[in-house]
A and B are shown apart, each in its own frame.
Chain A
Amino acid sequence: MADTVKNAAETPDVVQPWADLGLNPDEYARIRDILKRRPTASELAMYSVMWSEHCSYKSSKVHLRKFGELDQNTPRGPMLAGIGENAGVVDIGHGYAVTFKMESHNHPSYVEPYQGAATGVGGIVRDILAMGARPIGVMDPLRFGPIDGPDTPRVVEGIVAGVGGYGNCLGLPNIGGEVMFDRTYAGNPLVNALCVGVLKHEDLHLAHATGVGNQVILYGAATGGDGIGGVSVLASETFTEGGPTKRPSVQVGDPFMEKLLIECTLELFAEKLVVGIQDLGGGGLSCSTSELASAGDGGMRVELDRVPLRDPSLSPEEILMSESQERMMAVVEPGQVERFMEICRKWDVQATVVGEVTDDDRLVITWHGEVVVDVIPETVAADGPVYQRPYAYPAWMDRVHANDANKLPRDNSPVAITNQLLRLVAAPNLCDKSWVTRQYDRFVRGNSVLAQPEDAGMLRIDPKTNLGIALSTDCNSRMAYLNPYLGAQHALLEAYRNVAVTGAQPVAITDCLNFGSPEDPAIMWQFVEAILGLKDGCAALGLPVTGGNVSFYNQTGDTAILPTPTVGMLGVMDDVTLRIRSGFAETGDEVWLLGETREEMSGTVWADVFHNGHLGGMPPVLDFEHEQRLAAALQQAATQQTLSSAHDLADGGLAQALFESCQQGGFGVEVTLPQGAEPTVALFSESAGRVLVTVRAGASAALTALAKEHRLPLTRLGTVTAGGADATFRVAGLVDLPLSRLREAWQATLPAAMA
């Protein structure tokens, strides 16, 4: 028998499992205070879910508000929807808008890698769909434990197969992302999933329940017992070593159902049958009902016993907490319900009227006629606890900073440089990732102008005008560890540069902030610093933050992950046929470097690989004005078709960038390091703000004029040499290797580790 509101009022002293649901004593007391009685079992379930860290952002809210202080205009005009909606929406011109967002699905992906990753993709795709947009692409930044860790192959294989298995089946091209390894991610892999969608301005939909008498329709998959407590139990707690596995809290995905849901929903939008819409993700029905009701102009009444179930034994509180996938909730005018149902039938999607919008301000949920929830929806959805978690600069950072990698020994002999180059390209974080990307469809929908291994993905939006978008996701978490403020800005600028090298104009960001436990003041300090860094960086670049996601508790025992503030950058490309590629294009092309190389070895792959995982010192310096001039120059170069290739320098420095640009088309290269440059610094330093570019032989005048106009340091490095089996990688006086040797080393790492 269900715990009704009447029963709750009559039995105030019943002991409730609030602690097991992740609530602390103060939070439970506050719920009793709000309701002026004890909550029913169903109400307790709803509050526990919605007040969880994952849904309420209770530890991060006070800091995330800083993003709201940024100018809410992109370089292309006002944002059409911003933070607080399912996803931000950006105007890109010609009547088109783009919505994009990144979310984490970290904890479930460790417990059950395949389903965790799969449902991570599914969730973010529904967020984009709920804005009224057609999802058109995905990207997945992934972080794993050490490549030779005993559990790493299980986690990598499962997560990669899950991302591919779900995304491929939806028909969404996977156009980029990241794959990184570090020992701190053992037991805490990161699955960040970005989805981008496109819509016409007039098709924008928001999650509001408005219009008294309008019907509330639940459609999609039936509700099962999977994922109960996913956000409160899994995403909001630290794993304990040797603790019980939490597999029942992981959702199970059905991408075929999601594909039907996408096409069905887009047809519902096209016929203008939807007043308000919300996807069911973390928090399930608790979240969708309370958020729709609190954002609307009335209340909502829901008959919970009408919800189609996969498991008829579920109790009302379990139904409210279930995170079964592939479900949406729509608010529909009564006269449109019949047509709504007809379209759902066409797509074999089950749809059920479960409630209606009411004229009071309450969310009332009944179970076989008895009231089991009677709350003011805002108290559930919006008025969750807000914590000012203590944060403090950790004293150990002084030791980290003092341990400067510039002081490490450097062997500049040709033999040493050659050997280091061979080991560098084979390092886990620089090696060939096609073992992963071969499992993702990057071609479907036929608009993938650029995809991995390019610096950014690029999609054509409008075949008539060739309008398109570019996207990149980036984070160098080693830099973020050395200095979270600068590290977050490194992530921001790398993403900015990756979009800019294609010729696109960066316009807005989303973020996915992955950190350890917010209850540790040192971790909280990392988080606060990263947010400040992002906010100041965005202000300098004139870009808004359109939305994002916070994932805390990424730690096992006392070991937190490296702070990982991942940035997703959106760019606009007015004519995708003018895009610049990152691979060398032709023998004889001149190779040049834009930007300045400094002695900045801290946080580099070089320090990591050749100095036993060294991580100390300060990240390379950043210059926002230089980065903006660089981006402007690259946009101009695309328009004027000045460059035959452009490739961002990032992890691994010039050496890695040169190799990657050779490798793509199988070309060789012959470069001479600048007079007086120290080889280790010139090749392996990771100074920011640099781009490797090529021009056709003898066509450098336009490039030198461009560099002069935008006040960019420009250095001639050498020439692209013949491709094919005899292609060679030459650095005058230092390195003379067949490209094939480098390629073999680069390709061997990941397959060997996964075998």
Chain B
Amino acid sequence: MIPRIGVVTFPGSLDDSDALRAVELAGLKPVPLWHGTDSVQGVDAVILPGGFSYGDYLRCGAIARFSPVMSEIIKRADAGMPLLGICNGFQILCEAHLLPGALTRNAGRTFVCTEQRLRVESIDTVWTNTYTPGQEITIVLKSGEGNYVADEETLRRIEGENQVVFRYVGNPNGSARDIAGVTNERGNVVGLMPHPEHNVEDLTGNTDGKPFFTSVQAFLARALG
């Protein structure tokens, strides 16, 4: 059976169609999910895409976190469902306390769009298990509020628990300890500021983002049997 991957559209989501395409290119079944329903239609994994949900008003991700669909997603993620937050999706996951830390305004004050070098720090997650540890990849980064912050104790803890998944090579936004992406203790929830769904075709860039989708596929193949 082909695993079904849901992609949530919030008001103001922008990269939802990109995430759906990336899922499809990986041979998985893309399922569009609407923020205003409380059903996730029995999907096997969920992606919260990039964009400016609710216009980033109040704080990035602060309103989307309370969308009707989120309570079901949070419940399932707590039970082990793979959940990936990209950019605004990462911000939503932090607001929902599914991931530690928070994202603040870039140190340089301006929006940054660049093809960013990253180092894979952990492959011990549902979304990164087909990378190799220490591998360097280039992924699109495009955000105004990508500066990762957390208190010292949290930073020490996530470093110790191997929860830092990606680090920037050449810090573009002031993130603490160059952190570009993190996971929860269980490794099923991953959030990152860069956009792997933009790096799945040579025609429009490179394919360094593809292993996200082969990773979840590999995990689900084992889990679903």
Contact = CB atoms under 8 A, between A and B. Distances in A.
Contacts of A309: none
B18 A446 contact: yes
A447 B114 contact: no
B27 interface: no
Contacts of B110: 161, 164, 438-439
B114 A438 contact: yes
A164 B56 CA distance: 15
- Of residues B11, B56, B201, which shows the largest number of chain A Cβ atoms within 10 Å of its Cβ? B11
Contact of A256 (B18, B22, B55, B197): B55
B103 to A, nearest CB: 16
Interface in B73-132: 110-114
B78 to A, nearest CB: 29
Interface in B167-202: 195, 197-198, 201
Contacts of B57: 256
A254 interface: yes
Interface stretch (A165-173, A214-222, A315-323, A725-733): A165-173
B21 interface: yes
B142 A168 contact: yes
B12 A577 contact: no
Interface string B7-46: 0000110110110011000000000000010000000000
B interface residue count range (under 10 / 10 to 19 / 20 to 34 / 35 or more): 20 to 34
A346 interface: yes
Contact of A171 (B51, B55, B114, B205): B51
A444 B111 contact: no
Given A446-B18, A449-B203, A260 B36 contact: no
A445 interface: yes
A126 interface: no
Nearest to B198: A443
Contact of A440 (B14, B113, B205): B113
Contacts of B17: 445-446
A347 interface: yes
Contact of B113 (A165, A256, A437, A576): A437
Contact of A260 (B12, B14, B144): B12
A348 interface: yes
Nearest to A160: B110
B111 A446 contact: no
A690 interface: no
A298 to B, nearest CB: 36
A441 B204 contact: no
Given A346-B36, A445-B17, A168 B55 contact: no
A577 B203 contact: yes
A256 B55 CA distance: 5
A75 B202 CA distance: 30
A259 interface: yes
Given A169-B12, A438-B110, A446 B198 contact: yes
Contacts of A232: none
A445 B18 contact: yes
Contact of B54 (A256, A346, A460, A576): A256
Nearest to A346: B36
Contacts of B50: 444
Contacts of B204: 443, 446-449, 460
A440 B140 CA distance: 12
A586 to B, nearest CB: 16
A255 interface: yes
Contacts of A168: 52, 111, 142, 144
B113 A443 contact: yes
- Of residues A170, A254, A441, A449, which shows the largest number of chain B Cβ atoms within 10 Å of its Cβ? A441
- Of residues A347, A445, A449, which shows the largest number of chain B Cβ atoms within 10 Å of its Cβ? A445
A183 interface: no
Interface in A439-475: 439-449, 460
Interface string A163-205: 0110011110000000000000000000000000000000000
A5 to B, nearest CB: 41
Contacts of B54: 256
B55 A441 contact: no
A610 B36 CA distance: 62
Nearest to B57: A256
A447 to B, nearest CB: 7
A263 B201 CA distance: 26
Contacts of B113: 437-443
Interface string A567-595: 00000000011000000000000000000
Nearest to A256: B55
Contacts of A577: 203
Interface string A321-348: 0000000000000000000000000111
Contacts of B12: 169, 256, 259-260
A433 B195 CA distance: 23
Contacts of A257: 55
Contact of A348 (B11, B197, B205): B11
Nearest to B52: A169
Nearest to A259: B12
B21 A446 contact: yes
Contacts of B195: 443
Nearest to B50: A444
B111 to A, nearest CB: 5
A448 B140 CA distance: 13
Contacts of A445: 17-18
Given A256-B54, A260-B11, A347-B11, A443 B140 contact: yes
B111 A164 contact: yes
B203 A576 contact: yes
Nearest to B199: A443
Contacts of A260: 11-12
Contacts of B197: 446
B205 A443 contact: yes
Contacts of A449: 203-204
Contacts of B14: 169-171, 259, 444
Given A256-B12, A438-B110, A446-B204, A169 B18 contact: no
A151 B51 CA distance: 33
Contacts of A460: 203-204
Contacts of B15: 171, 444
B142 A441 contact: yes
A271 B14 CA distance: 22
Contacts of A441: 111, 113, 142
A445 B21 CA distance: 9
A127 B142 CA distance: 27
Nearest to B51: A171
B29 to A, nearest CB: 17
A255 B204 CA distance: 26
Contacts of B201: 446
A462 to B, nearest CB: 13
B220 to A, nearest CB: 23
Nearest to B201: A446
A734 to B, nearest CB: 34
Contacts of B18: 444-446
Nearest to A170: B14
Contacts of B11: 256, 259-260, 347-348
A118 to B, nearest CB: 13
Interface in A23-74: none
A254 B204 CA distance: 30
25 contacts: A164-B110, A164-B111, A168-B52, A168-B144, A169-B12, A169-B14, A169-B56, A171-B15, A256-B11, A256-B12, A256-B57, A257-B55, A259-B52, A260-B11, A260-B12, A348-B11, A437-B113, A441-B113, A442-B113, A443-B113, A443-B140, A443-B205, A444-B18, A446-B17, A576-B203
Ranked nearest first, the 5 interchain pairs of A and B with the lowest CB-CB distance are A256-B55, A171-B14, A446-B18, A443-B198, A439-B111
Interface of B: 11-12, 14-15, 17-18, 21-22, 36, 50-52, 54-57, 110-114, 140, 142, 144, 195, 197-198, 201, 203-205
Given A440-B113, A441-B113, 7 more contacts: A171-B14, A171-B15, A255-B52, A257-B55, A259-B14, A439-B112, A443-B204
